[in-house]
Structure 1
Amino acid sequence: MTIILLLATVGSGLMAGLFFSFSAAVMPGLADLSPADARAAMRRINVRIQNPVFLLVFAGTAVLGGIGLFAGEIIAGLLYIIGSFVLTMVVNVPMNNRLERTDDAYWPTYLSRWTLWNHVRGLACLAALVMYLV
């Protein structure tokens, strides 16, 4: 396995773990709060997650997955690129942006939809990890 594929494997695993943490603990924890408190907390999380370490792993793994496509790791690369990177940009980020612009009444819809798509992202990253390993 080349260093690029090794790093893509590790990145897929890290992102699977991050998405799992949100699905298993963060979002259920926020669901226990009032909509105003949960929305405020998620808005802070959305700001703080945009840091160099996260962005390097999140975007870097997509780049490595793209390079891996040319090395024959087509399924793994597509699982990560589409299931994590594209899905985040097309679904979760717009929902995060809407959370910024709306009031607390949007929170219940956001919570259920965002979490559902987060499950999908986590499973896609896990599947990419498995495919890199096999």
Structure 2
Amino acid sequence: MGTITLIAAAASGLMAGLFFSFSTAVMPGLADLPAEHARSAMRRINVRIQNPVFLLVFTGNVILCGIEVFQGRIGGGLLYIVGSFLLTMFVNVPMNNRLERADDTYWPEYLRKWTIWNHVRGLACLASMITLLLGF
């Protein structure tokens, strides 16, 4: 196994862990709060997550997984690119943007839909990591 594969697998694992943490702790914790407080907290989280360390792992792994695809490990690379990066850009980020503009009545719908798609992202990252480590 090459260095790029190992780093891509590790980055996919880190992202799986982040998404797992959101699904099992952060979102359930926010669900216990009144909508106005939960919405406010999530808006703050959405700002703070955009930091250099997160962005390096999240976007850097797109490049690494792209290299993996071209080196024949198509499954592992595409699982991350499609199931994490593209899903985030086309599903979760638009929901985050809507949350920024919406009032508190949007919170229950946001919580439910965002969390479901977050589960998918987490599973895709876990599958990416495993698939890359197995050489696919």
- Could you tell me the TM-score, scaled by structure 1's length? 0.99
1:99 alignment partner in structure 2: 99
1:20 aligns with 2:20: yes
Instruction: Give deviations 1:49-102, integer Å, cap 9, x for gaps.
Output: 000000000001111000111111100000000000000000000000000001
For 1:47 and 1:104, how far apart are their aligned partners in 2?
18
2:39 alignment partner in structure 1: 39
* Superposed structure 1 runs of 4+ greater than 6 Å apart: none
Structure 2 matches for 1:95-134, cutoff 5 A? 95-134=95-134
The two structures, once aligned, show a CA RMSD in angstroms of 0.4
Instruction: Give deviations 1:18-44, integer Å, cap 9, x for gaps.
Output: 000000000000000000000000000
Alignment partner of 1:33: what SS? coil
Structure 2 gaps, min length 5: none
For 1:52 and 1:74, how far apart are their aligned partners in 2?
27
Alignment partner of 2:91: what SS? helix
Partner AA of 2:2 in structure 1: T
- Could you tell me the TM-score, scaled by structure 2's length? 0.98
Alpha-carbon distance, 1:108 to partner: 0.1
2:52 alignment partner in structure 1: 52
Aligned residues: 134
1:71 alignment partner in structure 2: 71
Alpha-carbon distance, 1:16 to partner: 0.2
Partner AA of 2:45 in structure 1: I
For 2:27 and 2:131, how far apart are their aligned partners in 1?
28
Identity %: 71
Structure 1 gaps, min length 5: none
Please say if residues 16 and 126 of structure 2, whose CA atoms lie closer than 8 Å, have aligned partners that are also in contact: yes
